[in-house]
């Protein structure tokens, strides 16, 4: 998964360019910065690499989602459909613009189930936000058809799937807008950062202003800018953008290592017929940052997780069903709408109602799922050893239950 594993002289060199001038901010200081514009360069590289018309860097993936939602006009009264399995940032961003996160079941793609999405649509639905979890994609054809039919916005949370593609197009470029995160553990990192990508000029122009206090950025003098709307400070710094600039140039290298390591480990796990794998709508487009696999029941899955823990091989394997950050089951703060600032009573009630629905369809999938993150540092010998240890655990647990192995 993470580009931080291959930190190098290339990242140091880009950061040093900025340290030499001392101009750490992305706007202004045209003279003293001596032609060093890392944020602008990174935005151009993002457009080029992923095939989007516009890119607006932000301070994080979370702020990229908030920015995209504001730019898309999502706010008071609106419902945004988003999955029960995601990172907390997805619903945080919805709440940040005053809209209601409508959590919907995932299927064996580990992303939004289009049928469940259809059932969740109401006259207040404004947007569908699939989250392309763990390196791979949602059923975008299915979701796009629903958006078209009901005239809804499609916003892709592609924070975990940088470099993944669907039918030849980069994830994040297919909806009205998409967001990546460049936090420390994502496929490429800025240390902290994110981006909104879009092919719509109107959306981009709003993102550009929103992330910088509403500045219109039309003149050369920052102090004389007008403010057509209220914004915030979600700017990235030049130091962070410099790290990202080095990393994006290495993205293909990261992805090809990921794919090679993923294929080797998957072939080992596939030796056990009781192990099945996540359904991937376009297998060619998987970024391969994780292998997500299923066992036949929750009981067997829990036993495998426990045995991997006993043997010290659990790190890097995620049982999301019990995870505090990624799955509805442990989001007590959302279920109680525990915000520090008071929400309107109407919003609070709707948030709680949505978060406390029946998610048994998601539980049936997630309780049997383990995701193994793919390291860029593994040698082929290490993958073989790791895979065999995992096989050993799985076979032991199955044999104990009388399943022939
Ligand atoms: C990481 C992540 C985010 C948020 O990104 P940050 O840069 O950490 O704020 C949003 N959504 C998903 C699915 C993520 O994995």
pLDDT tens-digit map of 52-80? 999 999 999 999 999 999 999 999 999 99
Q: Could you tell which of 159, 172, 325, 371 is best to mutate to test the pocket of ligand 1, judged by most ligand atoms within 8 Å of the CB?
A: 159
> Residue ranges per domain, the chain?
3-251, 253-400
**Ligand 1-lining residues (CB < 6 angstroms):** 60-62, 86-87, 89-90, 131, 157, 159-160, 181, 183, 194
How far is the C-alpha of 229 from the C-alpha of 221, rounded, in Å? 18
Q: Residue 1's pLDDT is what? A: 57
Model's pTM, two decimal places? 0.97
Q: How many A from CA of 62 to the centre of ligand 1?
A: 6
- Write the burial class of residue 261 (CB in 10 Å: 0-12 exposed, 13-18 middle, 19+ buried): buried
Task: Give the residue from 376, 371, 377 showing the smallest Cα distance to 134.
Answer: 371
pLDDT tens-digit map of 385-405? 999 999 999 999 999 999 987
DSSP per-residue codes, 108-128: TTSSB-HHHHHHH--TTEEEE
Task: Give the residue from 79, 75, 121, 118 showing the smallest Cα distance to 351.
Answer: 79
Alpha carbon separation from 7 to 1, 59, 202 (Å, rounded): 13, 20, 36
Closest approach atom of ligand 1 to CA 183: 7
How far is the C-alpha of 234 from the C-alpha of 59, rounded, in Å? 5
**253-400: which CATH number, 3.40.50.1010, 3.90.1150.10, 3.30.300.30, 3.40.50.300?**
3.90.1150.10
Q: Copy the structure tokens of residue 142.
A: 């299915």
Q: Residue 192's pLDDT is what? A: 98
Q: Could you tell which of 89, 318, 328 is best to mutate to test the pocket of ligand 1, judged by most ligand atoms within 8 Å of the CB?
A: 89
CA 169 to chain centre: 17
Protein residue with least CA distance to atom 2, ligand 1? 159
CATH architecture assignment, domain 3-251: 3-Layer(aba) Sandwich (3.40)
Which positions are catalytic? 186
Closest approach atom of ligand 1 to CA 89: 10
Q: Could you give the strand order of the β-sheet that contains 369-373, starting from the edge strand earlier in sequence?
A: 276-277, 290-294, 369-373, 317-318
Closest approach atom of ligand 1 to CA 63: 9
Q: How many A from CA of 133 to the centre of ligand 1?
A: 10
User: CA 9, 55, 162, 327 torsion: positive or negative?
Assistant: positive
Report the 10 Å Cβ neighbour count for 304.
22
Q: Residue 2's pLDDT is what? A: 84
How far is the C-alpha of 404 from the C-alpha of 398, rounded, in Å? 7
Long-range contacts of 112-120 (CB under 8 A, 24+ apart): 112/81, 112/82, 112/83, 112/138, 112/139, 112/143, 113/361, 114/139, 114/142, 114/143, 114/145, 114/146, 116/361, 117/81, 117/143, 117/146, 118/146, 120/81
Closest approach atom of ligand 1 to CA 131: 13
Do residues 265 and 217 touch, judged by C-beta distance below 8 A? no
How does residue 221 score in pLDDT terms, banded at 50, 70 and 90? Answer: confident
């Amino acid at each position: 998964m993470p580009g931080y594993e291959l930190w190098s002289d290339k990242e140091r060199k880009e950061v040093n360019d900025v340290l030499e001038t001392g101009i750490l901010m992305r706007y202004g200081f045209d003279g003293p910065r001596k032609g060093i514009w890392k944020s602008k360069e990174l935005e151009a590289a993002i457009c080029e690499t992923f095939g989007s018309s516009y890119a607006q860097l932000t301070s994080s993936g979370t702020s990229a989602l908030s920015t995209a939602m504001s730019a898309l006009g999502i706010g008071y009264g609106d419902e945004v459909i988003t999955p029960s399995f995601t990172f907390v940032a997805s619903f945080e961003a919805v709440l940040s613009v005053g809209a209601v996160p409508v959590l919907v079941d995932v299927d064996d793609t580990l992303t939004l189930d289009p049928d469940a999405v259809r059932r969740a649509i109401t006259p207040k639905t404004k947007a569908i936000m699939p989250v392309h979890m763990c390196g791979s994609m949602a059923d975008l054809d299915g979701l796009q058809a629903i958006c078209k039919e009901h005239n809804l916005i499609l916003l892709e949370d592609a924070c975990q799937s940088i470099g993944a593609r669907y039918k030849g197009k980069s994830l994040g470029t297919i909806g009205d807008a998409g967001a990546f995160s460049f936090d420390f553990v994502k496929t490429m990192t800025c240390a902290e950062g994110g981006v909104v990508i879009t092919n719509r000029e109107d959306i981009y122009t709003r993102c550009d202003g929103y992330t910088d206090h509403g500045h219109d950025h039309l003149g050369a003098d920052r102090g004389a800018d007008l403010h057509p709307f209220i914004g915030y400070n979600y700017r990235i710094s030049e130091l962070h953008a410099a790290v990202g600039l080095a990393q994006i140039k290495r993205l293909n290298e990261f992805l090809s290592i990921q794919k090679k390591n993923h294929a080797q480990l998957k072939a080992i796990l596939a030796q056990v017929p009781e192990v099945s794998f996540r359904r991937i709508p376009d297998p060619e487009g998987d970024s391969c940052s994780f292998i997500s696999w299923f066992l036949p029941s929750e009981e067997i899955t829990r036993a495998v997780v426990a045995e991997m823990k006993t043997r010290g091989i659990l790190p890097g394997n995620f049982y999301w069903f019990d995870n505090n950050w990624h799955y509805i089951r442990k989001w007590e703060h959302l279920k109680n709408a525990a915000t520090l600032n008071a929400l309107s009573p109407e919003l609070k009630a709707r948030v709680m109602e949505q978060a406390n629905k029946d998610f048994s369809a998601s539980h049936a999938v997630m309780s049997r799922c383990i995701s193994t993150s793919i390291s860029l540092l593994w040698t082929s010998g290490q993958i073989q050893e790791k895979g065999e240890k995992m096989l050993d655990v799985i076979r032991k647990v199955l044999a104990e239950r009388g399943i022939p192995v």
